């Protein structure tokens, strides 16, 4: 805001008279009125500055809705033309099992359209800048041989999806604590803590999963962790025992975090792993509450040999 030139004391009355030409103001009262006007202008300026924040929230909501609608149109409506409406000309595919570009995406949509039982249920949606993450369940698609749990990460530009990363794994029965791979909390909260929670998860991955500091697990996890991963149970005992066993044997977990996606109380880590089952893309979704990880979901997707990739962009 341009500063008001108060000038000499006598100018206050003449400036105030300029605002109200039918009134006469003594110099000292003119300055008082100018002060009130300056305060009002400042207040109005602050209100105007707050508007972009409202627009940002609207944009985030629109991106989330666009990503969900694109998948619903493809999976439920069997609408192949949804690819042209929702995906950009320069679309880049990172899922190594799908061909690159719009042609590859249209081929996948055509495959889904030819599967009458194809369907999708979307359980969670996160928006992080231009990125939208969907946590879903697919069914009725021949290539998967049965229902799968999936993470799809989209990058938007100018209202269109221009990049995609994806991982799927076969759906399994409820784990040792009776939890499925998709149930649990879905409400995004504490958006003002997004970066704090992203840092918490990033620090955990480095300290525990890379440096094997199993003695620090309680620093990051609530002791009553709700576990949705297949074959595991609630709590942190299994994780602590596994990390401790690797550390004491002088081994190493070959996990390299490639991407962190966060909104509020949810943080996704996309990692590259060399694990006993082979080269793997690991999608780990964490829910944070009061500075501790309280819930976890995952999808572990085998990465095929490079000569079998359908595109050359890489899974990460």
For residue 238, the model assigns a pLDDT of 87
**Same-domain check for residues 135 and 242:** no
Cα separation, 41 vs 112, in Å, equals 58
**Same-domain check for residues 118 and 148:** yes
**Same-domain check for residues 214 and 280:** yes
Segments forming the whole domain that contains residue 273? 191-306
Q: pLDDT digit string (tens) for 297-312?
A: 999 999 999 999 999 9
- Domain of residue 67, CATH code: 3.10.450.50
**Same-domain check for residues 151 and 228:** no
What does the pLDDT average to over 115-120? Answer: 96
**Same-domain check for residues 156 and 212:** no
Note whether residue 73 is domain-resident. yes
Note whether residue 314 is domain-resident. no
| Domain edge (last residue) among 118, 148, 175 | 175
Which is more confident, 34 or 155?
155
For residue 276, the model assigns a pLDDT of 80
Q: pLDDT digit string (tens) for 269-296?
A: 999 998 888 899 999 999 999 999 999 9
Note whether residue 147 is domain-resident. yes
What does the pLDDT average to over 172-177? Answer: 96
What does the pLDDT average to over 89-96? Answer: 98
Bridging pattern class, strands 119-128 and 221-227: unpaired
Is residue 32 over pLDDT 50?
A: no
Contact assessment for residue 273 and residue 282, using Cβ atoms and an 8 Å cutoff: yes
What are 143's two structure tokens? 């290539």
What does the pLDDT average to over 232-250? Answer: 81
For residue 282, the model assigns a pLDDT of 96
Note whether residue 180 is domain-resident. no
| Domain edge (last residue) among 110, 140, 175 | 175
**Same-domain check for residues 272 and 169:** no
- Structural domain count, the chain: 3
**Same-domain check for residues 60 and 168:** yes
For residue 260, the model assigns a pLDDT of 98
**Same-domain check for residues 97 and 129:** yes
**Same-domain check for residues 281 and 300:** yes
Whole-prediction pTM value?
0.80
Note whether residue 112 is domain-resident. yes
Note whether residue 1 is domain-resident. no
Note whether residue 47 is domain-resident. yes
What does the pLDDT average to over 189-216? Answer: 94
For residue 60, the model assigns a pLDDT of 81
Note whether residue 182 is domain-resident. no
Distances (CA, A) of 124 to 149, 182, 183, 274, 284: 12, 9, 10, 28, 13
């Amino acid at each position: 805001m341009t500063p008001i030139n108060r000038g000499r004391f006598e100018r206050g009355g003449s400036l105030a008279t300029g605002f109200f030409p039918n009134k006469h103001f003594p110099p000292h009262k003119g300055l008082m009125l100018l002060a009130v006007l300056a305060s009002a202008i400042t207040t109005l300026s602050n209100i105007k500055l707050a508007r972009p924040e409202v627009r940002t929230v609207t944009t985030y909501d629109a991106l989330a809705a666009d990503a969900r609608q694109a998948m619903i149109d493809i999976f439920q409506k069997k609408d192949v033309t949804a690819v042209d409406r929702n995906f950009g000309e320069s679309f880049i595919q990172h899922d190594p099992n799908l061909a690159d570009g719009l042609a590859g995406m249209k081929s996948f949509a055509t495959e889904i359209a030819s599967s009458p039982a194809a369907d999708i249920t979307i359980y969670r949606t996160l928006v992080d800048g231009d990125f939208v993450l969907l946590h879903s369940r697919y069914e009725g698609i021949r290539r998967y041989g049965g229902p799968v749990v999936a993470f799809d990460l989209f990058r938007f530009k100018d209202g269109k999806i221009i990049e995609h990363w994806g991982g799927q794994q076969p759906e399994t029965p409820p784990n040792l604590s009776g939890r499925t791979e998709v149930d649990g909390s879905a409400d995004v909260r504490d958006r003002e803590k997004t970066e704090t929670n992203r840092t918490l998860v990033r620090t955990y991955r480095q300290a525990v999963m890379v440096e094997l500091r199993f003695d620090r697990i309680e620093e990051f996890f609530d002791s009553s962790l709700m576990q949705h991963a297949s074959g595991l149970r609630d709590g942190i005992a299994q994780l602590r025992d596994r990390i401790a066993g690797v550390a004491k044997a002088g081994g190493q977990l070959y996990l390299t975090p490639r991407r962190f996606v966060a909104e509020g109380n949810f943080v996704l880590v996309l990692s590259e792993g060399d694990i006993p089952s082979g080269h793997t893309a690991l999608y780990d979704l964490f829910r944070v509450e009061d500075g501790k990880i309280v819930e976890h979901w995952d999808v572990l997707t085998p990465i095929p040999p490079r000569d079998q990739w359908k595109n050359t962009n890489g899974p990460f």
